[in-house]
Chains A and B, each alone.
Chain A
Amino acid sequence: MYRISKNIRKYSPTPIVKVTVGEDGREQEEIVMVAVNMKKKEGDELSLTIVELLNKN
């Protein structure tokens, strides 16, 4: 599953991460994309749209 990282960035867009389940059953985040050269708000909105598209069944 893809989502916005739980480590929310304060001044720049938060990365899109791929969530995987490790050996212990806990989730691990792997950064797949970060919106750059954009304002935080715009970047986060774009990231949210991309996440929705990626998670379409």
Chain B
Amino acid sequence: MKTKNVLHSDIILKIQELIKVSKENYDEFLGVKGGNWSEKFENKIKRQEVLMDELKVMAKAKNTLLGRTLQFPMADSYALYLIIRVNKTNVVAYWLDYCDAWQDDRLGVGGELSLEYAKAKVFGRDKLDELFSKKKLANV
């Protein structure tokens, strides 16, 4: 376990950073004159997206599910979860307070998912991204 942690220490650091950013809450500035709530909120989302992209590249390079995100469709948006631990049969997902902050009914603020299910979700997302990037290239 120790070697595994050392192996993915850079990913773990990024995960900690992303969770820290996600926990930032600017509700106290909501409706306050000069509080710049929307600016702060947009800035938070941008930083989250940058960190998630970096994590995706790192996780793909190391061929691991650690640091990958899972999306579950909810109403007009989706709930976003970050994989923070990978075990032999399951993964632990942590809720990210991203954009309109939806939560999955099964996972809430965080929980365990079967490894196979998480793999299928991540693989499906990657394939979809690949497909859309190909379409974008074809349109250029």
List of 4 A-B pairs having minimum Cβ-Cβ separation, nearest first: A1-B108, A21-B113, A20-B112, A57-B109
Q: How near does chain A come to B72, taking the closest CB pair, in angstroms?
A: 9
Q: How large, as a class, is the contact surface on chain A?
A: 10 to 19
- Choose from B23, B106, B117 the contact partner of A23 (Cβ within 8 Å): B117
A1 pairs with B109, CB closer than 8 A: yes
* A8-36 to B contact mask, C-beta < 8 Å, 1/0: 00000000001111111101000000000
Contacts of A22 in B (CB 8 A): 114, 117
Count A-B contacts at CB 8 Å: 41
B111 pairs with A1, CB closer than 8 A: yes
B106 pairs with A19, CB closer than 8 A: yes
Q: How large, as a class, is the contact surface on chain B?
A: 10 to 19
A1 pairs with B106, CB closer than 8 A: yes
- Residues of chain A touching chain B, judged by Cβ–Cβ distance below 8 Å, are 1-3, 18-25, 27, 55-57
- Choose from A19, A23, A24 the contact partner of B107 (Cβ within 8 Å): A19
* Residue B27 is within 8 A (CB to CB) of chain A in the complex: no
B117 pairs with A24, CB closer than 8 A: yes
Contacts of B106 in A (CB 8 A): 1, 19, 21, 27
* B85-96 to A contact mask, C-beta < 8 Å, 1/0: 000001000010
